[in-house]
Structure 1
Amino acid sequence: MRLHTLTVRAFGPFAGQEQVDFDRLTSGGLFLVHGPTGAGKTSVLDAVCFALYGRVPGARQNDRSPKSDHAPLDREPEVTLEFTCGGRRLHIARKPRWERPKKRGRGTKVENAKVVVAERVEGSWVGVTTRPDEAGQFIGDLVGLTLDQFCQVAMLPQGDFARFLRARSEERRESLERIFNTRVFRDVEEWFRGHASKLRREVESAEEAVRGAAGRLAEAARSEAPQDPAELSAWAAEAASVTAATARDAETVTAGVVAEREEARAELERGRAVRDRHERLSAARLRDAELKERAQERSGIDVRLAAAERADTVLPSLHARDQRRTKRDKAEAELAERLALVEGLPGVDRTALGVPVAGEWPDAGAPRPQKALRSAEQERRDEHARLELLRGDAERLRDLGRTVAGHDAELQRLARDLEATREQVSVLPPRVESLTRELTEAREQAARAEGAETALATARARLSAAQDQERLSGELAGAEERRRTAVDAAQEARDHALALRERRIGHMAAELAADLAEGEPCAVCGSAEHPSPAVAGPEGVVSAEEEKAAHSAADAAAVRRSEAENAETVLRERRTAAAERAEGRGVADARAEVGTRSEALSEARAAADTVQRLEEALERAGTDLERAREREGTLALRVSEVTSAREAAVAERERLTGVLDAARGDDPTIDARARRLVSEADRLGAAAEAATSRDRAVEELREAEAEVRRRLAGVDLRGGDGEPSEAGLSSTTEEQVWAAALSDPERRDLRERARAHDDEVAAVRAVLEDPELTGAGPVPDLEALGEAASRAGRAADEAVAWRGGLRDRARRLAELRVELDSCLAGSEPVLHRYALAENMRALTSGTAADNEDHVRLSAYVLAARLEQVVAAANDRLATMSDGRYELRYTVDKAAGDGRARSAGGLGMRVLDAWTGVERDPATLSGGETFFSSLALALGLGDVAGAEAGGADIDTLFVDEGFGTLDEDTLEEVLEVLDGLRDGGRAVGVVSHVADLRDRVTSQLRVHKGSSGSRVEHLG
């Protein structure tokens, strides 16, 4: 994966919009990201991670939004990244969750996280997804790395790897698990542990079941169960067989006792049956005497029912006559009520209706009121029909009234709106002119922002140069003094050396004479005689060693003089360069200029924000003015239209008012007159109908009275023998008929009494004539028979209980024997499975005897990964340490923290080739720890990339730690990093070390300030 461009806005320390051109930075292969502490170097890497994964790595991830605190509250944060991965060029724009001020009112509103992923296809961008979950899945599948793996492979955090190098085994295990995703092996350990625990519980449950079954069987057998499980089955079989044999013997004994009990009970029942026959015969004779005394009462029931049957022929006529009489009375009352309601109506006279004033009705030939009532009703209904034709005009009149009122209200409202609109039209033009002037001034001031920013950067450079000049002036004075001292010292040393040489040359004869010996030839003349050897002066002879030492001291002094002169020259040149950059300004003047330029830049930036606000205000004002003028014309036209419509409605309302006033007469309205006519017509119609109903009721009553008289003449209720007499003589009255009548319940009661009497007589006669009762013998001694049956019953009950107890025990023992055998059979495979699972648990957890190193399964897998990491790291560590150091992993306790038994295989040592001794990583110096950690980080990145499917990472970052290296080691580390460019990869070094600026030409500088940070491309 290769990065192309990164754009951030209102993110982290970056308040505005900043762009990082990775194509430019990576063109040389190695580039530097530098800047002061806290400027935001690491935030550039955080932005890359956020664009890809929606999160920032490590401890910097928290619940707080990554929106910049330096940015305005309403500026939307966004990170945009363009990169190529797997031959596909992608563009990701991601916005975090943040709070913005509400556009209306106070408070804030939460904006949810958003993302847009697009792909470059045939020269144009094609959308991939806008859903955060789909974007995360898409990037994860494409890159093939999680966020933690990406940070370990592409962004090498040295602080983390120094901790990893010195970590304890358990801490190192947690780090490796996050990178290599070996949690599945920990899950296997946990599964075996849980599985063994589960099977152990099953074993305990099976053993408990065996103990429970044995206990229940012992309780049923009334004996002690053996302690050895192997003896339980034989013991259970013996107990069950003995109890079963005893139960079979009890069956024979119990059968005989039960037979004796049944015979005694049968004899007692036969005696009781004889006694019951004698008692039934005596009761039947007494009841027969009682029934003969009630025979007269039985005959009276038949006579009463016959009279009621004859009365039934007259009762319907009597009921019909009474109903007709009630109907006539109701009809007369209703007619009187209806006539009272129509009396006094216009055109209606009670006398004209043909009804006597006193209320007595004329005979059938007299005139009836129906005709007059129907005539008055028809007159009113005809007039109502005429009024119905005018109802539409009345409704239209009401609508016209509402229309006129609506027009009046609308005219008032239009007048108010028109006045307000005209006032707005007069006020807005000055407002537009004022905003236009303000906008022009703000734009002119905002246009100076770029120049002000350049001027501020120049002023800051001058201030830095002035400060450097002032500092270098002090250093130069010291260097001059050191040079003068060095020159004097060198001159004195040289003079001393020359003086010693001259003295030695002058006393050379004395030096040679000092070496002469008697009989030895002279080194100069060869004579063996030495008559007058030379003698040194009072200062003595200078030896060759003294001369040589003096010349060495002179040479050293000359070197120091040369170094002092060079240092002075360098400082003088640097001060001259600083003075040129300061352009003649002192520190105070340069600092004042920086303050002035900063204020100018702040004003220009504030003006830029004002420009946007004024543009929006001007646009709103112009839009409001245009809308106001348009609304003014619309309102004026509407006023004219509404006025014309109101005049037409008023004219039509006056015409309809005249027509309807003539039609309503004395009534207040047309509707009121129509309602009155309908009400009067309805009352007249109801009165005519009541008169008709009354005439019909009178006629029906006459017919009913005639039918009653005919029926009474045709029935005779006197009949001594119960037969009716119809001789044609009317001697029966209504009172006799009502007295003879019976209701249905009374009839049913009399019939039931007669039937019950007859049935009882027949039953008594059947008992008295039963030969079984009359031929029964004497009654036996029931008391003696009962005593014998009781004794036999008690003996049988005891035998049955004894037999049942033995039978239940035998059945219970057989069931418990089967249960015990089943529990014993079921516990064997559980014990076998538990033994196997326990062995696997001990093996994977490192506690089994077969696991000689006592290494857990997960630690074993991680140890294999760590072995690969160490091998990859040593390839680079050999170069960085000049072959001195080599990393080794180990499983012994000495390699870690004393806990290798539980987390073995993850220890790490450092082999020092100079001493041949393995050292603890904690004993390394700061620089040694750095390059060892860097080698380990690079090795871990290689292995993690291969583990993730060989992820192709073309852009790498190394974060901090270079300040601990000396010049030679730094050169070797950079050589290793430079070697990472093989295959087209680019390496970014994140550091604030000054020496790296001279060594790495392609740079991204991050500047920090009170208003936020910004980036600058150099080289």
Structure 2
Amino acid sequence: MRLHRLEVAAFGPFSGSEVIDFDALSDAGLFLIHGRTGAGKTSILDAVCFALYGQVPGVRNNVKGLRSDHAPPGAGPRVVLETTIRGRRLRITRSPAWERPKLRGSGTTTEHAKVVLEEFEHGGWTGLTTRLDEAGDLVSRMLGMNAVQFCQVALLPQGEFAGFLRAGADERRKVLERLFATEVFTQVEKWLADRRAATGREAAELGAAAASVAERIAETTGAAPPRSSMPPRAGEGLAVPQPRRGEPAAEPFAEVAALPAWATELAAGQQDVRAAVEELGAGVTAALRAARAALDDAKALAARQRSHAEAVARRDVLAGRAEEKSRTASRLDAAARADRVVPLVKDVRERHGRAVQARRWAEETRARVTALLPPKASEDVLAKAERDRRDEAAALEGMRGTAARLRDVERQREELAGELRRLEPHDARTAAALDELPGIVAAHRTELDEAKAAAAGRRGAEAAVEDVRRRLAAAHRRDQVEDLLARAEQAQRDAVDTAQEARDRAQELRQARLDGMAAVLAGELEDGEPCRVCGSTEHPAPVASLAAVPSEDEIERAQAAYERAQERRERQTGEVESRRSERDQLLETAGDVPAAALAAELAEAEEAFKAAAARAAEAERLEAALRRHEQELDRARDERDRVTRRLTESRIRAEELAAERARLASDLDRARGDDPTLEARIARLTGEAGALGEAAEALRASGRAEEELSAARAKAAQEAAEQGFGTLDEVLEAAMPDEDQGVLRDRIRHLDDEEAQVRGLLKDPALIEAAAAPPPDLPALETALRAAEAAHTEAAGAADRARYRCDRLAELRGELLAAVRAWLPAAERHEVAERLAGLTSGKHAANRHAVSLSAYVLGARLMQVVAAANERLSRMSGGRYALVHTTAKSAGDRTKGAGGLGLRVADAWTGQERDPVTLSGGESFITSLSLALGLADVVTAEAGGTEIGTLFVDEGFGTLDEETLDEVMDVLDGLRDGGRAVGIVSHVAELRARIPAQLRVAKDRAGSTAEIIV
């Protein structure tokens, strides 16, 4: 990477735009960047880093805002860098986020960070990206290093490397981790530590599972669990003895492997107990079987004796109930015969009732038609009279349409009469209106023409009023704004004076602070403590200040007062510009005419507008009235024609309806006869026909009922005689419901079954033999059985418990064996993980130096850095000093496994190794410079060999004597090999004579400037 051109504007201490031509400086190979303290030498390096990565080095990156405090309010900060990286010419334009004044109103708004990355190709600049993240990624990939690495490689901050030289292993480790990609080794350490913990938890959980099975085995057998050999449960820690350094590790969890043998021994003892219990149970079972058999035989004999005695008693009872059984059988026989006749008797009763009802119906219907026919008229006469009346009613049905048409004609005649009464007066009114309306329309048309002519000037009068009113409002506002503008200009002048005074005060205090900074630093020096500038512990001639040095608080208060005054100045300036712009616009509208003259002109214009508006309103009213009367005339003419046509049509229709009504009335009078209406005649004939038909039907039904009754009586009498009954009443007396017959039959069947059962029992040889035998002693036999059952229960329980223990123990032994088999590989994995984690963390005995893996890798990088640094340190120190890498841990190293990052300084004059803190200020400078250059070489190689064509060495030369400075300059001059340019940042005056190519940075109250001297 080679820098060509840098442009900064409103950035850091540079208030204006400064351009630095690095090509002109690089031609000399070695150039000097110098200037007064605080002028902005380091800000140039900040600008380079910001252009590439969007951030500045070190702690300055956390400072909010990179915009220059000296820049004008609206000037935006910007950095433009042209550089060549891996053969590609790039131009990077970056702007940090900053607060700019609002374009309208007061206050500020945030301008976000921006970037434009361009590449020079084909004779012009081509845009690559404007995204912040893409630009940063592209630069990082091309350089092969991040911002931290770039700052260490290209900027060489000497103050940081002096601290790196003297730091302990912990702090040195943090710096190296930022520069070298050792995250993978740290992740390996963490992964192995996590693996060790995970395998430990796994082994503990599996060991606890095996211990749980062993406890269940002990609980099942009643044996004591082997507590002394049990591993801890999950979460209680691992029972792995920690070996002393240099001793082999003991086998972890050796006791768990012995659990299966312990369980096998318990199983053998339980099998012996089971065999003894089963042998005892066999004898008890035989005794129980004999006692149960003797009791069963005695109970059977007693039962047979009871059965024989009960059979004898039942036989005597059945003999006394023989007569009752005979009567019940006779009654059931009579009921069975009566069941064959009862349905016929019931049928006779039903038919008798129907015959009586039919005769009553016939008598009632004949009584209703006695007025129409003779009292004793036959069925045929009734039927003929019914047919005659139905035929006449059917003939009259055809006249219903005639009656309906007559009613419709009457209704139409009434409607026509009402319409004629309404139309005749309306016709007279319409004729009168037609005589008046033409004259009214002509008069209104004449008045309307006159009003329209007078209202033609209303629009012009209205426009004149609006124009004068607008000019008058502008004149009033013009007078107000002129007064406000005068006051705003006065306030602006006051604000400018106040802001200028506050700025001068802040700059004077800051300059006084800078001028007295040496005295402040000298006042803080203590004997034996290193100087923060040169690093020396000796302070032979500290500076003393005669004038009072302002404090930081005073400077901050003065700066805050200046910022507040500046904000007020910007607000007042914005207000003046706003008022002046508003006044100019109002002058364009109102001019210089006084407001009083415009008010009088407005009154005249309003009067003219009111007169024109009145005539226009009158014209609108007249036009509406004319249009209304013209419409009324047209409607009157149309209405007169319509009414005349309707009158003619209605009179003709009334004559036609009168003729039709006379004809229809004559036809209906002939049809109704003596009845009042046609409907009444039809209803009368239909009712008489229905009564006659009902009477004929009643006569026919009565005859059929009498015939059916005679036949039913004859059939019932015949069946009763055949079943042995003299009369129908005897049949009803012998009849019995089915439920009662069922009860009697069940009673006879029960007696028969009981007699048969008793006869069978009395003939049973076993009962006869039992009756002859003596009764058994049942209580004594039951007592013997209970004793045998108790002994058997106790023996069976013991056998079941022994069998359960053996079965359960076999099951648990299988679980225990599986648990131990699962535990063994987990324990082996944990042992391997424990050893590897200890090795990588530096805590295992095999790691002789107690160095972690990441520290070991960083130590290898540090060895490379030391080797590269010693090449230059030997030349700078005249062969006296050399850096030595050591793995020993110093007293201040608190982190375990952080060894391997120690640095010592070998002194060839004394043959001893020294701690870097014992070096003087100049010795520390050349040593840390060598270390920085060596680290730059190693980081460059680590980043893929990206060549850094332009690098900077920042400060520290003031501590060197003349001879050492010559050696250092020779080394730095050697860095130019291969066309590399080296910039030295220093305010040492001697370097100005040694290095002709210079970049001078000057400062004043308005900000810093940069100038190239070649």
- What is the TM-score normalised by the length of structure 2? 0.54
Give the direction of change, closer, same or farther, for the CA distance of 1:613–1:231 in structure 2 (3 Å limit): closer
1:971/1:365 Cα in 2 relative to 1: closer, same or farther (>3 Å)?
same
Q: Is the 8 A contact 1:100 1:109 kept in 2?
A: yes
**Letter of the structure 2 residue corresponding to residue 926 of structure 1:** G
Matches for 1:152-191 after TM superposition, within 5 Å: 152-191=152-191
**Cα shift at 1:648:** 12
CA distance in 1, matches of 2:41, 2:688: 127
Q: 1:252 to 1:972 in 2, by over 3 A?
A: same
Letter in 1 for 2:20: V
- Could you tell me which of 825, 836, 841 is aligned with 2:837? 841
Measured in 2, the distance between the counterparts of 1:712 and 1:887 equals 152
Q: Which residue of 1 aligns with 2:825?
A: 829
Shift in Å at residue 954 of structure 1?
0.5
Is 1:979 the counterpart of 2:974 in the alignment?
A: yes
Q: Residue type of the partner of 1:921?
A: P
Question: How far does residue 918 in structure 1 lie from its aligned partner after superposition?
Answer: 2.0
Question: Deviation digits for residues 193-222 of structure 1, max 9, x if unmatched?
Answer: 221122112222122111111001110122
Matched length: 670
**Partner amino acid, structure 2, of 1:96:** P
Equivalent position of 1:992 in the other structure: 987
The CA deviation at 1:3 is: 1.2
Equivalent residue number for residue 947 of structure 2: 952
CA 1:875–1:767 in 2, change beyond 3 Å: closer, same or farther? farther
Partner residue, 1:236: 263
CA contact (8 A) 2:170 2:893 kept: no
8 Å Cα contact 1:253/1:799 also seen in 2:
no
- The code of the aligned residue for 1:887 comes to L
Give the corresponding residue for 1:1009. 1004
Displacement of 1:43 after TM fit?
A: 1.3
Match of 1:876 in 2: 872
Deviations 1:474-532 (A, max 9, x none): xxxxxxxxxxxxxxxxxxxxxxxxxxxxxxxxxxxxxxxxxxxxxxxxxxxxxxxxxxx
Q: Is the partner of 2:135 in helix, strand or coil?
A: helix
Q: Contact (CA 8 Å) 2:852, 2:899: kept in 1 or not?
A: yes
Partners of 1:76 and 1:377 lie apart in 2 by 100
Q: Which amino acid in the other structure matches residue 234 of structure 1?
A: A
Contact 1:258–1:796 (CA under 8 A) maintained in structure 2: no
Classify the secondary structure of the residue corresponding to 1:28.
coil
Offset at residue 898 of structure 1 (A): 6.6
Using the TM superposition, give the Cα deviation of residue 655 of structure 1 relative to its aligned residue in structure 2, in angstroms.
6.2
For residue 420 of structure 1, what is the aligned residue in structure 2? 470
Structure-1 separation of matches of 2:179 and 2:95: 27
| Aligned mates of 1:120, 1:55 — CA distance in 2 | 24
Which of 807, 813, 817 is the aligned partner of 2:813?
817
Aligned to 1:100: 100
Give the CA deviation at 1:101. 3.6
Stretch moving more, 969-978 or 816-825: 969-978
Which residue of the partner structure matches residue 676 of structure 1?
none
- Which residue identity does 2:870 align to in structure 1? N
Separation in 1 of the partners of 2:791 and 2:627? 120
Show the counterpart of 1:25.
25
Within 5 Å, give how 1:671-820 maps onto structure 2: 808-820=804-816
Distance 2:976 2:220 in 1: 88
1:57 aligns with: 57
Alignment CA distance shift 1:837-1:78 (3 Å): same
Asked whether the equivalents of residues 118 and 126 of structure 1 are also in contact (C-alpha less than 8 Å), the reply is: yes
**Take 1:727 and 1:884, find their aligned partners in 2: how far apart are those partners?**
161
Deviations 1:950-986 (A, max 9, x none): 1111110110101111222222212211211111111
Deviation, 1:937, is 0.4
Measured after TM superposition, the shift of residue 61 of structure 1 is 1.8
CA RMSD of aligned residues (A): 6.5
> Partners of 2:409 and 2:738 in 1: how far apart?
67
* CA distance in structure 2 between the aligned counterparts of 1:968 and 1:900, rounded to whole angstroms: 41
CA distance in 1, matches of 2:571, 2:12: 21
1:891 maps to 887
Q: Aligned letter for 2:197? A: S
**Mapped partners of 1:376, 1:413: distance in 2:** 66
8 Å contact kept, 1:157–1:958:
yes
Alpha-carbon spacing, 1:800–1:910, altered in 2? closer, same or farther (3 Å): same
Cα distance in structure 2, aligned partners of 1:176 and 1:876: 20
Amino acid at match of 2:848: E
Aligned to 1:463: none
8 A Cα contact 1:225 1:232, kept in partner: no
Residues 753-807 of structure 1 deviation map (CA, whole Å, 9 limit, x = unaligned): xxxxx99999989988998996696999xxx99x99x999999999997777666
Asked if residue 12 in structure 1 is aligned to residue 43 in structure 2, the reply is no
Partners of 1:241 and 1:762 in 2: CA distance: 80
Q: Is the 8 A contact 1:254 1:803 kept in 2?
A: no
CA–CA distance in structure 1, aligned partners of residues 1002 and 797 of structure 2:
106
Instruction: Give, in angstroms, the shift of residue 846 of structure 1.
Output: 1.9
Question: What amino acid sits opposite 2:929 in the alignment?
Answer: L
What secondary structure does 2:864 align onto?
A: helix
Q: Deviations over 1:568-598 (max 9, x none)?
A: xxxxxxxxxxxxxxxxxxxxxxxxxxxxxxx
In the aligned structure 2, how far is the partner of 1:254 from the partner of 1:119? 109
Correspondence for 2:927: 932
Structure 2 counterparts to residues 389-788 of structure 1, below 5 A: 416=466, 420=470, 657-658=628-629
Matched with 1:911 is 906
**CA distance change for structure 1 residues 229 and 192 in 2, over 3 Å: closer, same or farther?**
closer
Per the TM alignment, residue 820 of structure 1 is displaced from its structure 2 partner at its CA by 0.7
Asked if the contact 2:106–2:574 (Cα under 8 Å) also holds between the matched residues in 1, the reply is no
Query: Measured at CA, do residues 989 and 211 of structure 1 come closer, stay the same or move farther in structure 2, by a change above 3 Å?
Result: same
Give the whole-Å Cα distance in 1 for the aligned partners of 2:285 and 2:101. 102
Consecutive unaligned residues of structure 2, counting only runs of 5 or more, are 230-254, 315-327, 358-402, 427-456, 486-514, 516-567, 592-608, 637-678, 706-736, 762-766, 768-777
Percent identical across equivalent pairs? 45
| Match of residue 34 from structure 1 | 34
Alpha-carbon distance in structure 2 between the residues aligned to 1:711 and 1:797: 101
Structure 1 stretch displaced more, 901-910 or 937-946: 901-910
How far residue 892 of structure 1 moved from its aligned partner, in angstroms, is 2.9
Matched position secondary structure for 2:161: helix
Report the CA distance between 1:21 and its aligned residue. Answer: 2.0
Q: C-alpha offsets along residues 48-97 of structure 1, whole Å, 9 cap, x if unaligned?
A: 11111111121112162222233344432222222110111112222222
In 2, are the aligned partners of 1:873 and 1:935 still within 8 Å (CA)?
yes
Q: Does the 8 A contact of 1:892 with 1:900 survive in 2? A: no
Q: 1:812 is aligned with what amino acid?
A: R
Cα deviations by residue, 1:531-574 (Å, 9 ceiling, x for unpaired): xxxxxxxxxxxxxxxxxxxxxxxxxxxxxxxxxxxxxxxxxxxx
Contact 1:893–1:900 under 8 Å retained in 2: no
Structure 1 spans left out of the alignment, 5+ residues: 279-284, 311-361, 384-406, 436-466, 468-605, 630-638, 666-698, 719-723, 729-757
Q: Provide the rounded CA distance (Å) in 2 between the counterparts of 1:237 and 1:1012.
A: 94
- 71 and 648 in structure 1: CA distance in 2 versus 1, 3 angstrom threshold: farther
Partner residue, 1:404 = none
Instruction: Give the conservation status (yes or no) of the 8 Å contact 2:284–2:791.
Output: no
* 1:219 aligned partner, one-letter code: E
Match of 1:852 among 838, 848, 852: 848
Q: Distance in 1 between matches of 2:157 and 2:409?
A: 123
Q: Give the superposition deviation at 1:623.
A: 10
Q: Identify if the C-alpha distance between structure 1 residues 365 and 19 changes in structure 2 by more than 3 Å, giving closer, same or farther.
A: same
Shift of residue 224, structure 1, vs aligned partner: 2.5
Deviation at 1:31, TM superposition (A): 1.3
Sort the Cα spacing of 1:615 and 1:199 in 2 relative to 1 into closer, same or farther, 3 A.
Answer: same
Q: 2:809, 2:576 → 1: CA distance? A: 102
Given that 2:951 and 2:982 are in contact with CA atoms closer than 8 Å, whether structure 1 keeps it comes out as yes
